[in-house]
Structure 1
Amino acid sequence: MPLPHFLVMPYPILGHINPLLQFSQVLAKHGCKITFLITEFNQRRVKNAIEHLGSDIKFVTLPDGLDHDDDRSDQPKVILSLRNTMPTKLHKLIEHINALDGDNKITCLVISKNIGWALEVGHNLGIKGAVLWPASAIALASFESIPRLIDEGIINSETGLPTRKQEIQLLPNSPMIETVNLPWCKLGKKFFLHMAEDTKTLKLAEWWLCNTTCDLEPEALSLSSRFLPIGPLMMQSDDTNKSNSFWEEDSTCLDWLNQHPPQSVVYVSFGSLAMMEPTQFKELALGLDLLNKPFLWVVRPDNENKVNNAYPDEFHGSKGKIVGWSPQRKILNHPAIACFISHCGWNSTIEGVCGGTPFLCWPFFSDQFYNMSYICDVWKVGLGLDKDENGMISKVEIKNKVEQLLDNKDIQTRSLKLKEITLMKTNGGQSSKNLEKFINWAKE
Structure 2
Amino acid sequence: MGIPHFLVIPYPVMGHINPLMQFSQLVAKHGCNITFLNTEFSHKRATSSGSGQDNLKESRIKFVTLPDGLDPEDDRNDQVKVLFSIKSTMTPMFPKLIEDINALDKDNKITCIVVTMNMGWALEVGHKLGIKGALLWPPSATSLAFCDKIPNLLDDGVIDSDGLPLKKQEIQLSPNMPPMDSDNLPWVTLGKVFFAHIVQEMQTFKLAEWWLCNTTHDLEPAAFSLSQRYLPIGPLMENYSNKTSFWEEDVACLEWLDQQPPQSVIYVSFGSLATLEQSQFNELALALDLLDKPFLWVVRPDNNNKVNNAYPDEFHRSKGKIVKWAPQKKILNHPAIACFISHCGWNSTIEGVHAGVPFLCWPFFTDQFLNKSYICDVWKIGLGLEKGENGIIPKGEIRKKVEQVIIDEDMKARSLKLKE
TM range (shorter): over 0.9
Summarize the alignment of residues 287-366 of structure 1 with structure 2, pairs less than 5 Å apart.
Answer: 287-302=287-302, 308-366=308-366
Which residue is equivalent to 1:77? 81
Deviation larger for 48-57 or 331-340: 48-57
Contact 1:275 1:303 in 2 (8 A): no
Summarize the alignment of residues 252-291 of structure 1 with structure 2, pairs less than 5 Å apart.
Answer: 252-291=252-291
Decide whether aligned partners of structure 1 residues 198 and 167 sit closer, same or farther in structure 2, where only a CA change above 3 A counts.
Answer: same
In 2: Cα distance, 1:294 partner to 1:400 partner: 16
After superposing on structure 2, the runs of 4+ consecutive aligned residues of structure 1 that deviate more than 2 Å are 52-55, 303-309
In 2: Cα distance, 1:358 partner to 1:43 partner: 34
User: 5+ residue gaps in structure 1?
Assistant: 421-444
TM-score by length of 1: 0.91
Deviation at 1:82, TM superposition (A): 1.3
TM-score by length of 2: 0.96
Which residue is equivalent to 2:197? 194
Decide whether aligned partners of structure 1 residues 10 and 400 sit closer, same or farther in structure 2, where only a CA change above 3 A counts.
Answer: same
Deviation at 1:223, TM superposition (A): 1.7
Give 1:168's match in structure 2, choosing from 167, 171, 179.
171
SS at match of 2:279: helix
Give 1:181's match in structure 2, choosing from 178, 184, 199.
184
Summarize the alignment of residues 27-426 of structure 1 with structure 2, pairs less than 5 Å apart.
Answer: 27-47=27-47, 48-49=50-51, 50-56=53-59, 57-157=61-161, 159-234=162-237, 237-238=238-239, 240=240, 242-247=241-246, 248-302=248-302, 308-420=308-420
Contact 1:6 1:35 in 2 (8 A): yes
Contact 2:164 2:188 in 1 (8 A): yes
Question: For 1:170-222, what per-residue CA distance to the aligned partner results, in whole angstroms no more than 9, with x for missing partners?
Answer: 22211111100000001111111101111110111111100100000111122
Contact 2:300 2:307 in 1 (8 A): no
Q: How many residues align?
A: 415
Deviation larger for 263-272 or 61-70: 61-70
Contact 2:265 2:295 in 1 (8 A): yes
User: 5+ residue gaps in structure 2?
Assistant: none
In 1: Cα distance, 2:276 partner to 2:202 partner: 29
Deviation at 1:3, TM superposition (A): 2.9
Deviation at 1:323, TM superposition (A): 0.4
Contact 2:302 2:308 in 1 (8 A): no
Contact 1:304 1:310 in 2 (8 A): no
Contact 1:64 1:81 in 2 (8 A): yes
Deviation at 1:306, TM superposition (A): 7.5
Deviation at 1:345, TM superposition (A): 0.1
RMSD over aligned Cα atoms: 1.4
SS at match of 2:117: coil
Deviation larger for 294-303 or 19-28: 294-303
Question: For 1:116-161, what per-residue CA distance to the aligned partner results, in whole angstroms no more than 9, with x for missing partners?
Answer: 111001111111000000001111000001111011111111x211
In 2: Cα distance, 1:304 partner to 1:322 partner: 19
Question: For 1:322-354, what per-residue CA distance to the aligned partner results, in whole angstroms no more than 9, with x for missing partners?
Answer: 000000000000000000000000000010000
Decide whether aligned partners of structure 1 residues 222 and 195 sit closer, same or farther in structure 2, where only a CA change above 3 A counts.
Answer: same
Contact 2:187 2:195 in 1 (8 A): yes
Deviation larger for 84-93 or 344-353: 84-93
SS at match of 1:322: strand
* Percentage identity across paired residues of the two chains: 68
Contact 1:264 1:294 in 2 (8 A): yes
SS at match of 1:399: helix
Which residue is equivalent to 1:12? 12
Decide whether aligned partners of structure 1 residues 413 and 303 sit closer, same or farther in structure 2, where only a CA change above 3 A counts.
Answer: farther
Deviation at 1:243, TM superposition (A): 4.1
Deviation at 1:309, TM superposition (A): 3.2
SS at match of 2:271: coil
Question: For 1:202-261, what per-residue CA distance to the aligned partner results, in whole angstroms no more than 9, with x for missing partners?
Answer: 111111100100000111122221111011111xx23x4x24122321101100000011
SS at match of 1:301: coil
Deviation at 1:54, TM superposition (A): 4.5
Decide whether aligned partners of structure 1 residues 67 and 79 sit closer, same or farther in structure 2, where only a CA change above 3 A counts.
Answer: same
2:33 maps to amino acid: K
Question: For 1:376-416, what per-residue CA distance to the aligned partner results, in whole angstroms no more than 9, with x for missing partners?
Answer: 00001111111111111110001000000111100000000
In 2: Cα distance, 1:99 partner to 1:5 partner: 13
Decide whether aligned partners of structure 1 residues 282 and 43 sit closer, same or farther in structure 2, where only a CA change above 3 A counts.
Answer: same
Contact 2:339 2:360 in 1 (8 A): yes
